[in-house]
Copies of this chain bind each other. A is one copy, B any other.
Amino acid sequence: MIETNISRVIIEQYVKRLTEHLNSDVVIVGAGPAGLAAGYYLAKAGTKTTIIEKKLSIGGGIWGGAAGYNVVTFEDKDILDEIGVTTKKQGRLYVADAIEFATALAYQAKKAGAEVFNLMEVEDIVLKKETVKGVVVNSSSVRAINLHVDPFCICAKFVVDATGHPAELVSMLKRRKPDLFPKELQEYFMNVEISEAGVVEKTSEIFPGLFVAGMAVCDVYNLPRMGPIFGGMLKSGKKVAELINEKL
């Protein structure tokens, strides 16, 4: 019957994609602006890239602009031009529509070849010989209702923590390896005016195999949260892609 044909095609196609990506070059956790930008630049360079997102939709904090005023601003527009987002100059700033920005970025990452799995949540990291080798994942809906179900693993040469403010992967590592994280990380403090630059500067491989990008950087280095700094997010994502592509 047509109904079961549709069902079969969907299930088989999904599982094919999923099993093919159980071993990837890079796993990016979090499909917000930094994660999607990283995915775009990695996939564009031919890197086998898997993006994991715990929510149903992707885009993270982009959709609501600032406080629900769904507009986003940037200090320059090179990346936006590249991914096809219309901008308008307002004084020193470029403005764009938040929804156009979110969808264009995800669409281009996907078109470039990054594979996105939504409704999937990271529970732990795979760590071998003091190197991060992958992530332990589960169904986020199963976890949301507190069912006791075991996870599975997705392995990769490199893992990117683009989980935003909680910096979830770094936290998992820190709980286990507190000595690896110097105390002064917690005390770093900067002028909010240079937040955007700070996010990019601190985007790096924080532990063998584990990179941190986007708002997760702010969390790790205690950079203050300010308004929508999506320019910094994009550049951080691009930088992490460049750092990884060099190492591959």
Please list the residues of chain A having a beta carbon within 8 angstroms of any beta carbon in chain B.
1-15, 17-19, 22-23, 32, 56-61, 63-73, 84, 86, 88, 90-93, 95, 97, 99-100, 102-104, 106-107, 110-111, 116-120, 123-129, 133-134, 136-139, 141-142, 144-145, 147-155, 164, 176-177, 189, 191-193, 222, 224-228
Contacts and interface: CB of A to CB of B under 8 A. Distances in A.
Contacts of A8: 19, 22
Nearest to A156: B4
Contacts of A224: 124-127, 136, 176
B23 A19 contact: no
Given A6-B227, A150-B66, A13 B139 contact: no
Contacts of A3: 126, 134, 152-153, 155, 192-193, 226-227
A152 B18 CA distance: 19
Contact of A225 (B10, B19, B63, B124): B124
Contact of A148 (B64, B88, B154): B64
A85 to B, nearest CB: 9
Contact of A63 (B14, B64, B69, B149): B149
A19 B12 contact: yes
Main secondary structure of the interface of A (DSSP, over half): mixed
Nearest to A149: B64
A10 B97 contact: no
Given A106-B103, A117-B70, A23 B1 contact: yes
Nearest to A124: B225
A61 B149 contact: yes
B56 A7 contact: no
B152 A118 contact: no
A234 B152 CA distance: 19
Nearest to A21: B4
Contacts of A1: 23, 133-134, 153, 155, 193
A33 to B, nearest CB: 10
22 contacts: A1-B134, A3-B134, A3-B155, A4-B23, A6-B227, A6-B228, A9-B91, A11-B19, A11-B66, A56-B64, A57-B63, A58-B63, A61-B150, A66-B149, A67-B152, A70-B117, A97-B110, A100-B110, A107-B107, A124-B224, A151-B226, A176-B189
